[in-house]
Each structure stands twice: as structure tokens, then as C-alpha cells.
């Protein structure tokens, strides 16, 4: 296997006396779907927030490698830079869309940094220079292609808050993909979806994995999603990693059965 | 409150609620209507006049009004109050088609306005005042309406602009057109200086700090006597000239140069067109900014700051740019104010000004430029209208001064607005970009921002 896209090494996060994530290490590969699972309070979202810069980890390294071998130490970067330069995109457990803005506008904001440059940091944009117009059209086209892929093109000019729940989830993924990420982090993408929508989500994630040259890291409770699409599963319990492997390995790991599958879930 | 307790429409319950309203009114009216202080003329100074009849009439009116409301207008038991569709006027103002026709019509009216038969000096001064507030409203709208950052100290930037022009022209002899960009630049710098400490603040805390900032600027202007002249202000500020031609009676003056008869109105008309041009400039720049990536980022910031950061939007720069650009337009307007008055003093930049500008933005609607125009006309023109209601003296006696009711009506207007149009005259927003057709986004979807 080639070099990992993301290497998390001895990641620890303490909140006062509580150790939410305790010396967790794992790798994420390009064109793979890596799932982080674990009972409630296992530290999944905390680990996620450390990777995407919303928390500063107490200790440990998070290294992201681009194709040209540039390395980014994510634990030292500000949250918006992680998206802007290191190209890590994320979604949220409680969907965070720009509700009063249209679907298209949501997808345009995802391309903010690119468009800011094209508008010469607003100065060129005020005079509507041809190069800005071209960039704007290209951004619209890209937004349209993602709306087509997740199937919400007919709602392009509706405010995001008016979309049904399932479509909002899809829009959030499309918005994250519009930032041109190398790593897509999804925080419980299937939460609240019905079985049919879950099925569509699986297909979408597979298609992103196979065609968009990104690594996908996801937190999920829905085992039908996790077991079906993950290439690699990491199991956390009480902040520690208790298992790591593919679906079959994890399913048969006694530690996992003890901590998770046999005890908490139905 | 239990579900039956509140909406019960039985007669005793109605009387009970009306009596409660009357008691509250009594407590409020007791010091305001019931007691009046009067000068005795002697050494004792003041003594009290008790007006029990007036107090009784006031409380009685409240009881009758509340009973009438209970009997005729209040929702009855089990009756769900229907959610009202936006009124025709609000819908019309919100739609882009109407905005596209009303805008040019208003502009055309503004252009011919000084030449209309009724436009005397007083009317024209009022027009200048209204347009100044429209411009300030558009500037503040960037900060409050788009970026969702509540700024209670906007008048500080107006003051910075005004004093920049005054000081630069007095000490360095700079002309108006030279001072204008400098004043804008200085105000923008102060916008950034204010922006830095408040980056982490939201909501009430942000409002308090910006309020304090506005006061700090005013107090500094008041106390730094050697520089700003203190409470005496700065006078003899050079008046703007028509591209170098002054408005006076000399042979090089405007009238003589263009072969016209001298009239002091020429200068007023020039000032009118000057502020109109500045306002139109503000309109086009702010309208354009809103459709650019930076404007979308401002609105995204209002909608959800965390999501913004997750998409790589630099929220620090975005907030600072909103403060700076909003402040810049305040600075332009301030510079014009100083040029028009030829006198500035800290008196002109008190909190009431900030409150008026904010009220214009809130009443107009957070993201509608047309709404700001209408609310500025109502807020500024309406107050002036009160001065004209002299006929009321024949009704209420000669002591009655309608302009003293200004704040009362101001408060009443705010209460009515909260009831009928809580999100402003135009509460919808137009998308900045669209695929097939532009649909207005209804107010219920739009976040008001917590900053």
C-alpha cells in the first residue's frame, strides 16, 4: 500500500481531568473509506475535531500528505487553514448549512478562496473583470456538477433551510466536496436518514471514493452503512483504540464484541 | 401559563386581564400623568400639582381599549391565529421586479427634486439630511445586515470622517475631493481598530463594546481640546467649491463664472447633488459587494460562522473587512457633514445618532437597500414633519410643541414595527447568484446572526 494520506500518531486530547482521546494512532488512505466507530462518548467526534482543527490536541501528531509529498502538521494549523491549504473538508453531526442562502450560494461559498483570488480580493470583482466573470461561471458549473451528482439540481435556487433533511445532508457533502478536498471527513452522515436515503448515501460515498481521488474518513453509528462501505474500520472505546482492520476482522474481534456490538447496540 | 388560562374568552377572565392592564397603566401613569412639577416662582423652587382626573381618564381609556381588544380582536378559544402572509406592500418591495422600477423612479425624483416649485431652502436641507442618513444606513447595513454584527457605535466612524475633513482642511488646506478618500481611509482604519478587539465577541457583548467605542471617540473629541477644540468644536471649515470655483458673490464665484444671478441656494443645490452622488456611489458599491465572494462570505458569516471556517473562509479577515468597509462609508458621509456644516462639534455624534442609524437599518430590513431608503424617509422626514404640525396648537393649547413628542412616537413606531413587521419593511433577501430563476428567500429562513 502506498503512503497514507493522513497519519494520526499518539493523538491525545484532555479536557481538564477527562481524557477524551487517549494516544490513538491510525492511518487513512486515498481512495479508501475509513470509518471510526465506537459507543457514545468513545471520543470519535473529539478525534474528528482535532483533525479538522476545531480543537487543539493536547499532544500527538496529525500529518496530512498531498500527492506532491508536501506534509501538513494539522495540529499546528488554524481551522480555516486546514480547509484552505491542507484541503481537509468536513461535515457536521448537526447539519450546518447557510439556511437563508440558496443551495447554489452554499456551493459558491465553498469555493470562496478560489473566487476571492479570481476577484483580485474584491477589487477586480467590483469592476467585473473578464477573468472574474470566467471564474464565477466556472464556479457555477462546478456547483452544478455536484448538485447533479447528489441529485438536488431542481432545488438549486431554493434556500437551503427549505430542503428536506436528507437533501440537506447531501448538500452538506456536496458543499464539502466543492472545496476540492483530498480528505473528506463526515460526522455521522447517515444520522436521521431512512433506509432508502442511506442506500443513496452509500452509493454517493462509493462514487466519491472511486472517482474523486479523496480519502474518506467517517464517524457512523449506522452499522448497515459502516459494514457495507468501509474499507477500513477503527473502533474506539473510552478514548482508546481497541480494534483496527477491515469489516470482517473488526466484526470478529472479541474486544469489539465485548465493548460494542454485543452490549450497547441492538 | 396553562393552555386554557391564557386564551380563555369567558367574561370574568377578560375583565381580569383588562384590570391587570389597567393596574400596570396606573403604575406607569402615576408619575407621568398624575404628578406634574411646576415652578412656584418663589424661593421654594418646585411644587407638585396632582392631576387625578387626568390619571383616571388615562386608566379608564386603557381599560376600555383592553376590553375592546378582548371582545373584538383577540383570538378566541381554540382558535389558532393564522400566520399572516406578508402584506402586498412588503411582497412588492421584496420582489426584484418592483425594486428595479422603484429604484430608478426614486433616483429620478431625487434628481429633479431641487428644481421642483416647493423646494425651498428648508425642504432641500431636509433632503440633504435624509440622503445622508440613507448613505449611513447603507454603510451600517454591511455590518449589521449582511455580516450580522450588531454595531451600536457606528456614529464613531461618522465622527472620524467629519473631524478628518475638518482637521485636514484647516491645517493642511486640503480640498474636499482630496479629503474625501482620506476620511474614508481613516474611518476604515478605525473600523479595523474596533474590529480587532471584538473579533471574539458575539451578541450582547459585541453590542456593549461597540457602544463603548462610540462613546470613547466622542469623549476623546470632547476632551482633547488642543487638537479638536473640545466642546467648542472646530469652526471655519472651508466649504467645498465647485471644482475650485467658490460659491460666493465675488467675480470668481460660481454665479459670476456661469453668468447667473448670485443666490445662496446655488450652494445648497450643489451640496444636495454632492450627497446624492455620494449616496448613489455607495449604493452601487454596496450592491456590487454583496454579489461578490466577499459579500457572500459576510452573509455566510451571519448564517453560520463555524461552517464558514470549515469551508476555509478566513473569518477574521471577513469580519474586519465588513467593519472597515462599513466604516469607510460612514467616513465619507462624515466628511460631507463637516463640509456642509462648516462646523463640527462632539455634540453631533452622540449615541442618539447611532441609535437612529441602527433603527433605519432595522426598520428598513436587514438586507434590502430600498427598505433603508423608505425607513430613512420615515425616521428622519417623519420627525421633521412633527415640527410642521403647528395646527395641533389650536387643539392642545399654545404650550403644546409637537416636536417634543418625537421620542414618544419613535417608541410607538418601534412597538408597532415589532408587532407587524418584526424583520423590517423588506425582510426577504434576494439570492446573489442563481441558476434558473431568482426567488426571494423568506425571512423565516434567514438567520439574524448572533454577533
Which among A108, A146, A105 is positioned nearest to B446, based on CA atoms? Answer: A105
Cite the DSSP H helix spans in chain A.
44-51, 79-84, 103-109, 112-118, 123-126, 130-150, 165-177, 195-211, 223-229, 247-251, 254-256
> Are A159 and B434 an interchain contact pair (Cβ–Cβ within 8 Å)?
no
> Are B436 and A105 an interchain contact pair (Cβ–Cβ within 8 Å)?
no
Inter-chain Cβ pairs, chain A and chain B, closer than 8 A? 139
Instruction: Kindly state whether A96 is in contact with chain B, defined as any CB-CB distance less than 8 angstroms.
Output: yes
Tell me, yes or no, whether A61 and A186 share the same domain: yes
Q: What is the DSSP code string of B281-293?
A: HHHHHHHHHHHSH
How far does A60 lie from chain B, in Å, by closest CA? 22
Residue of A nearest to B436 (CA): A157
> Are A109 and B312 an interchain contact pair (Cβ–Cβ within 8 Å)?
no
Strand positions, DSSP E, B186-344: 234-235, 343-344
**Integer Cα distance of B232 and A116 in angstroms:** 46
- The answer to whether the CB of B298 falls within 8 A of the CB of B142 is yes
Tell me, yes or no, whether A140 and A187 share the same domain: no
Q: Which residues of B touch A176 (CB under 8 A)?
A: 310-311
Q: How many domains is chain A partitioned into structurally?
A: 2
Whether domain B90-388+421-445 has CATH 1.10.3470: yes
Tell me, yes or no, whether A232 and A105 share the same domain: no
Higher model confidence: residue A121 or residue B376? B376
Tell me, yes or no, whether A102 and A154 share the same domain: yes
How far does B302 lie from chain A, in Å, by closest CA? 9
pLDDT classification of A264: cutoffs 50, 70, 90: very low
- Among the partner residues B293, B306, B433, nearest to A112 by beta-carbon distance: B293
- Among the partner residues B307, B432, B436, nearest to A97 by beta-carbon distance: B307
Q: In whole angstroms, how far apart are CA B162 and each of A216, A237, B274, B314?
A: 56, 63, 15, 32
Q: Which residues of A touch B429 (CB under 8 A)?
A: 100
> Are B435 and A119 an interchain contact pair (Cβ–Cβ within 8 Å)?
no
Tell me, yes or no, whether A133 and A169 share the same domain: yes
Mean pLDDT, rounded, for A94-108: 90
| Per-residue pLDDT at A260 | 66
| Per-residue pLDDT at B130 | 93
| Per-residue pLDDT at B86 | 53
Q: Pick the last residue of a domain from A144, A160, A180.
A: A180
For B132, residues 6+ apart whose C-beta sits below 8 A from its C-beta are B275, B333, B336, B337
- Among the partner residues B288, B300, B315, nearest to A126 by beta-carbon distance: B288
Tell me, yes or no, whether A118 and A174 share the same domain: yes
B residues 420..449 contacting A (CB < 8 A): 429, 431-439, 441-442, 445-447
Mean pLDDT, rounded, for A57-71: 87
Q: Which residues of B touch A105 (CB under 8 A)?
A: 296, 299, 431-433
Tell me, yes or no, whether A196 and A83 share the same domain: yes
Q: Pick the last residue of a domain from A149, A164, A180.
A: A180
| Per-residue pLDDT at A184 | 92
Which mean pLDDT values do the consecutive 10-residue runs of chain B (451 residues) have? 52 88 89 78 73 86 88 67 55 64 85 81 89 94 89 92 91 85 93 87 86 91 86 82 74 74 80 92 91 91 90 90 93 92 88 88 84 88 76 67 72 79 77 79 74 53
Tell me, yes or no, whether A9 and A61 share the same domain: yes
Domain containing residue A233:
1-87+181-266
| Per-residue pLDDT at B192 | 92
**Integer Cα distance of B207 and B321 in angstroms:** 18
Q: Which residues of B touch A110 (CB under 8 A)?
A: 311
Tell me, yes or no, whether A162 and A240 share the same domain: no
Tell me, yes or no, whether A82 and A113 share the same domain: no
Which among B220, B221, B214, B186 is positioned nearest to B198, based on CA atoms? Answer: B214
Q: Which residues of A touch B445 (CB under 8 A)?
A: 99-100, 159, 161-162
Q: In whole angstroms, how far apart are CA A155 and each of A158, A194, B88, B297, B325?
A: 5, 20, 26, 21, 33
B residues 239..298 contacting A (CB < 8 A): 285, 288-289, 292-294, 296-297
| Per-residue pLDDT at B91 | 60
| Per-residue pLDDT at B120 | 82
Q: What is the DSSP code string of A29-74?
A: -TT-EEEEE-STTSSHHHHHHHHTTSS--SEEEEEEE-TT--EEEG
How far does B282 lie from chain A, in Å, by closest CA? 12
| Per-residue pLDDT at A266 | 44
- Among the partner residues B293, B307, B436, nearest to A156 by beta-carbon distance: B436
Chain A interface test: which of B297, B310, B319 (most A C-beta within 10 Å): B310
Chain B interface test: which of A83, A101, A141, A160 (most B C-beta within 10 Å): A101
How far does A68 lie from chain B, in Å, by closest CA? 21
Residue of B nearest to A162 (CA): B445
> Are B310 and A122 an interchain contact pair (Cβ–Cβ within 8 Å)?
no
**Antiparallel, parallel or unpaired: β A183-187 and B343-344:** unpaired
Kindly state the DSSP code that residue B8 receives in the 8-state scheme: -
| Per-residue pLDDT at B336 | 93
Instruction: Kindly state whether A81 is in contact with chain B, defined as any CB-CB distance less than 8 angstroms.
Output: yes
User: CATH number for the domain including A169?
Assistant: 3.40.50.300
3-class SS string, B403-423: HHHHHHHHHHHHHHHHHHCCC
> Are B434 and A115 an interchain contact pair (Cβ–Cβ within 8 Å)?
no
> Are B445 and A162 an interchain contact pair (Cβ–Cβ within 8 Å)?
yes
> Are B310 and A92 an interchain contact pair (Cβ–Cβ within 8 Å)?
yes
| Per-residue pLDDT at B33 | 78
**Integer Cα distance of A64 and A6 in angstroms:** 4
| Nine-digit cell string for B362 | 432595522
Q: Pick the last residue of a domain from A180, A211, A229.
A: A180
**Integer Cα distance of B59 and B49 in angstroms:** 18
pTM for this model (two decimals): 0.82
pLDDT 10s digits, A200-212: 888 999 999 888 8
pLDDT 10s digits, A215-235: 999 998 877 788 888 888 888
| Per-residue pLDDT at B39 | 74
> Are B293 and A99 an interchain contact pair (Cβ–Cβ within 8 Å)?
no
Tell me, yes or no, whether A83 and A185 share the same domain: yes
Q: Which residues of B touch A126 (CB under 8 A)?
A: 285, 288-289, 292
Instruction: Kindly state whether B308 is in contact with chain A, defined as any CB-CB distance less than 8 angstroms.
Output: yes
Tell me, yes or no, whether A32 and A75 share the same domain: yes
pLDDT 10s digits, A158-190: 889 889 998 999 999 999 999 989 999 999 888
Amino acid at each position: 500500500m502506498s503512503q497514507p494520506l493522513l497519519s494520526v500518531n499518539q493523538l491525545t486530547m484532555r479536557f481538564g481531568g477527562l481524557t477524551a482521546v487517549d494516544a490513538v494512532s491510525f492511518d487513512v488512505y486515498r481512495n479508501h473509506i475509513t470509518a471510526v466507530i465506537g459507543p457514545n462518548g468513545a471520543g470519535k467526534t473529539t478525534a474528528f475535531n482535532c483533525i479538522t482543527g476545531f480543537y487543539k490536541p493536547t499532544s500527538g501528531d496529525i500529518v496530512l500528505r498531498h500527492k506532491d509529498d508536501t506534509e501538513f502538521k494539522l495540529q499546528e494549523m488554524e481551522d480555516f487553514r486546514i480547509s484552505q491549504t491542507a484541503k481537509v473538508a468536513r461535515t457536521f453531526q448537526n447539519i450546518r448549512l447557510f439556511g437563508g442562502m440558496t443551495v447554489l450560494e452554499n456551493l459558491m461559498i465553498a469555493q470562496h478562496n478560489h473566487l476571492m483570488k479570481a476577484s483580485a480580493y474584491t477589487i477586480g470583482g467590483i469592476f467585473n473583470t473578464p477573468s472574474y466573470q470566467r471564474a464565477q461561471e466556472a464556479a457555477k458549473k462546478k456547483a452544478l456538477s455536484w448538485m447533479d451528482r447528489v441529485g438536488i439540481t431542481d432545488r438549486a435556487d431554493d434556500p437551503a433551510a427549505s430542503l428536506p433533511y436528507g437533501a440537506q445532508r447531501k448538500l452538506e457533502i456536496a458543499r464539502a466536496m466543492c472545496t476540492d478536498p483530498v480528505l473528506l471527513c463526515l460526522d455521522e452522515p447517515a444520522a436521521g436518514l431512512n433506509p432508502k436515503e442511506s442506500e443513496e448515501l452509500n452509493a454517493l460515498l462509493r462514487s466519491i471514493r472511486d472517482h474523486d481521488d479523496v480519502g474518506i474518513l467517517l464517524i457512523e453509528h449506522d452499522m448497515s452503512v459502516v459494514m457495507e462501505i468501509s474499507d477500513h474500520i477503527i473502533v474506539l472505546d473510552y478514548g482508546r483504540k481497541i480494534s483496527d482492520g477491515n469489516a470482517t476482522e473488526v466484526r470478529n474481534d472479541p474486544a469489539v464484541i465485548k465493548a460494542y456490538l454485543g452490549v450497547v447496540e441492538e | 401559563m396553562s393552555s386554557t388560562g391564557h386564551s380563555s374568552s369567558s367574561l370574568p377572565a377578560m375583565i381580569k386581564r383588562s384590570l391587570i392592564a389597567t393596574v400596570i397603566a396606573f403604575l406607569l401613569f402615576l408619575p407621568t400623568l398624575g404628578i406634574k412639577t411646576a415652578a412656584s416662582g418663589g424661593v421654594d423652587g418646585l411644587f407638585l400639582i396632582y392631576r387625578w382626573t387626568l390619571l383616571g381618564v388615562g386608566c379608564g381609556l386603557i381599560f376600555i381599549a383592553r376590553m375592546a381588544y378582548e371582545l373584538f380582536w383577540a383570538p378566541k378559544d381554540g382558535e389558532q391565529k393564522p400566520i399572516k402572509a406578508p402584506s402586498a406592500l412588503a411582497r412588492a418591495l421584496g420582489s426584484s421586479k418592483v425594486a428595479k422600477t422603484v429604484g430608478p423612479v426614486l433616483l429620478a425624483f431625487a434628481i429633479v427634486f431641487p428644481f421642483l416649485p416647493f423646494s425651498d431652502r428648508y425642504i432641500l436641507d431636509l433632503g440633504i439630511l435624509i440622503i445622508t442618513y440613507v448613505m449611513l444606513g447603507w454603510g451600517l447595513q454591511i455590518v449589521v445586515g449582511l455580516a450580522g454584527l450588531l454595531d451600536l457605535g457606528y456614529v464613531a466612524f461618522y465622527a472620524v470622517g467629519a473631524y478628518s475633513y475638518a482637521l485636514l482642511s484647516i491645517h493642511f488646506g486640503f480640498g474636499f475631493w482630496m479629503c474625501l478618500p482620506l476620511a474614508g481611509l481613516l474611518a476604515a482604519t478605525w473600523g479595523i481598530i474596533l474590529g480587532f478587539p471584538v473579533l471574539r465577541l458575539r451578541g450582547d457583548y459585541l453590542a456593549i463594546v461597540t457602544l463603548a467605542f462610540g462613546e470613547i471617540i466622542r469623549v476623546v473629541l470632547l476632551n482633547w481640546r488642543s487638537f479638536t477644540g473640545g466642546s467648542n468644536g472646530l469652526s471655519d471649515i472651508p466649504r467645498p467649491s465647485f471644482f475650485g470655483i467658490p460659491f460666493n458673490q465675488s467675480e470668481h464665484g460660481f454665479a459670476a463664472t456661469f453668468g447667473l444671478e448670485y443666490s445662496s441656494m446655488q450652494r445648497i443645490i450643489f451640496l444636495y447633488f454632492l450627497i446624492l452622488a455620494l449616496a448613489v456611489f455607495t449604493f452601487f458599491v454596496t450592491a456590487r459587494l454583496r454579489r461578490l465572494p466577499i459579500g457572500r462570505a459576510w452573509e455566510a458569516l451571519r448564517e453560520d460562522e463555524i461552517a464558514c471556517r470549515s469551508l476555509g473562509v478566513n473569518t477574521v479577515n471577513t469580519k474586519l473587512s465588513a467593519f472597515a468597509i462599513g466604516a469607510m462609508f460612514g467616513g465619507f458621509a462624515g466628511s460631507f457633514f463637516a463640509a456642509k456644516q462648516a462646523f463640527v462639534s462632539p455634540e453631533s455624534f452622540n449615541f442618539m445618532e447611532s441609535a437612529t442609524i441602527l433603527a433605519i437599518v432595522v426598520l428598513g430590513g436587514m438586507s434590502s437597500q430600498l427598505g433603508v431608503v423608505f425607513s430613512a424617509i420615515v425616521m428622519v422626514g417623519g420627525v421633521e414633519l412633527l415640527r410642521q404640525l403647528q395646527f395641533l396648537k389650536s387643539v392642545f393649547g399654545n404650550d403644546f410643541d409637537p416636536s417634543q413628542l418625537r421620542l414618544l412616537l419613535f417608541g410607538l413606531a418601534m412597538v408597532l414595527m415589532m408587532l407587524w413587521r418584526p424583520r423590517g419593511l423588506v425582510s426577504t433577501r434576494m439570492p446573489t447568484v442563481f441558476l434558473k430563476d431568482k426567488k426571494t428567500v423568506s425571512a423565516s429562513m434567514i438567520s439574524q446572526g448572533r454577533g
